């Protein structure tokens, strides 16, 4: 089997061929996506997509470890990165290290991702110096939804543009191998991509970013509670599932399912032998 994509290899893609990224939460999804992507993110978006919470805040470290392990069992090629959930890293570099070390040792993932720019610089440096590759996440930060007052794009005012630029630069300076740029005005995201030394991975950002990521369930039409403008839907698998469930229901009610081919039948003569 070919070797797994490493975080230094992702880092080296700055300015090169776009880095293809998607989220995955389960073994089977990881198996389907692995041949097509450079990086699989076990995002804390699973709190909304899998568990039905209305934000990512209730997600726990144990949930991230369970899903990170599941994805690792399905991914042989992609670089697998696991989100540090809300409350598991913001208190101190030591808390972040403790949480990130559990993710690394219990899942076998290649690194962690955390939200926050300048304020997280010390923490990112602390983790990287101790052997934990970090992907940063700046711009729209879903774990800060209560401070921001909603899921809103940033970079519209000069002050916001300066802040997200400083945040991305601080993450590069602190040793992050890449930075996710979410919900950021296109020209601002393009300018940051030109100015920072590490790859930018855009989501609601810019085609100029060094890579792109989306939530897989959004891409495949498996989640429709809320679809941000930056999502491009490539399939309607949710619609297919509804149709299949309706067909199954009709078959069961009409006793068309199971057919004899789905049943265990006695071998001829086998049952009656004395
Ligand atoms: O949690 C997540 O899925 C993410 C990506 C959308 C970047 O952080
Ligand atoms: Na996330």
CA–centroid distance, residue 34 to ligand 2 (Å): 19
Residue 97 lies in a domain: yes
- Within a domain: 254: no
**Apex 77 CA angle, 75 and 81, nearest 5:** 65
Q: Would residue 217 count as lying in a domain? A: yes
**Which ligand 1 atom lies nearest to the CA of residue 213?**
7
pLDDT for residue 194: 98
Ligand 1 centre to CA of 167 (Å) is 18
Task: Please say if 182 is a catalytic residue.
Answer: yes
CATH classification of the domain holding 83: 3.20.20.60
Which ranges constitute the DSSP H helices of the chain? 7-11, 27-33, 46-49, 61-74, 93-107, 121-129, 145-148, 158-174, 186-195, 216-219, 237-253
Q: Write down the pLDDT at residue 1.
A: 53
| Ligand lying closest to the C-alpha of residue 41 | 1
How much is the pTM?
Answer: 0.96
Residue 269 located in a structural domain: no
In a domain, 118, yes or no: yes
Task: Round to whole Å and give the CA distance between 25 and 23.
Answer: 7
Q: How many domains would you assign to the chain?
A: 1
Task: Please tell me which residue in 94, 182, 217, 261 is annotated as part of the active site.
Answer: 182
What is the position in ligand 1's atom list of the atom closest to the CA of 113?
8
Which residue's CA is the nearest one to ligand 1's atom 5? Answer: 43
- Which of 142, 184, 226 best tests ligand 1's pocket when mutated (most atoms within 8 Å of CB)? 142
* Domain membership flag for residue 266: no
Q: For residue 265, is it within any domain?
A: no
Residue 253 included in any domain: no
* Ligand 1 atom nearest residue 45's Cα: 1
Tell me the CB-side half-sphere exposure of residue 192, using CA atoms within 13 A.
37
Residue 142 Cα, ligand 2 centroid: separation in angstroms? Answer: 7
Q: If you take atom 2 of ligand 1, which residue's CA is the nearest one?
A: 43
**pLDDT 10s per residue in the chain (274 long)?**
569 999 999 999 999 999 999 999 999 999 999 999 999 999 999 999 999 999 999 999 999 999 999 999 999 999 999 999 999 999 999 999 999 999 999 999 999 999 999 999 999 999 999 999 999 999 999 999 999 999 999 999 999 999 999 999 999 999 999 999 999 999 999 999 999 999 999 999 999 999 999 999 999 999 987 788 999 999 999 999 999 999 999 999 999 999 999 999 998 765 555 5
Cα gap 205→80, rounded to integer Å: 22
CA of 180 to the centre of ligand 2 (A): 10
Question: Does the interface predicted TM-score (ipTM) exceed 0.95?
Answer: yes
Question: 141 lies in which domain range?
Answer: 7-236
pLDDT of the residue at 270: 54
Whether 73 and 112 have beta carbons less than 8 Å apart is answered as no
pLDDT score of 163: 98
What residues line ligand 1, using a CB cutoff of 6 Å? 23, 41, 43-45, 83, 137, 180, 182, 203, 213, 215
């Amino acid at each position: 089997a070919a070797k797994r994509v490493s975080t230094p290899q992702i880092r080296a893609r700055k300015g090169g061929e776009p880095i293809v990224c998607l989220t995955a939460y389960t073994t089977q999804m990881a198996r389907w996506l692995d041949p097509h992507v450079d990086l699989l993110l076990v995002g804390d978006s699973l709190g909304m997509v899998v568990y039905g919470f209305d934000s990512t805040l209730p997600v726990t470290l144990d949930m991230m470890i369970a899903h990170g392990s599941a994805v690792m069992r399905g991914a042989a090629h992609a670089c697998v990165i696991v989100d540090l959930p809300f409350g598991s890293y913001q208190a101190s570099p030591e808390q972040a290290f403790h949480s990130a070390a559990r993710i690394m040792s219990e899942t076998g993932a290649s690194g962690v991702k955390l939200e926050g720019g300048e304020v997280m610089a010390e923490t990112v440096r602390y983790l990287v110096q101790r052997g934990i590759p970090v992907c940063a996440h700046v711009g729209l930060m879903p774990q800060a939804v209560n401070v921001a007052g909603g899921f809103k794009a940033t970079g519209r005012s000069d002050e916001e543009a300066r802040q997200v630029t400083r945040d991305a630069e601080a993450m590069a300076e602190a040793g992050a191998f890449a930075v996710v740029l979410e919900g950021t005005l296109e020209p601002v995201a393009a300018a940051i991509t030109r100015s920072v030394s590490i790859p930018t991975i855009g989501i609601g950002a810019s085609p100029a970013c060094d890579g792109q990521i989306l939530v897989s369930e959004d891409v495949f039409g498996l989640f429709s509670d809320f679809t941000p403008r930056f999502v491009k839907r490539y399939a309607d698998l949710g619609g297919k599932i509804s149709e299949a469930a309706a067909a199954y229901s009709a078959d069961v009610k009409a006793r068309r399912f199971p057919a004899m081919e789905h049943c265990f039948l006695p071998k001829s003569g086998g049952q009656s032998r004395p």
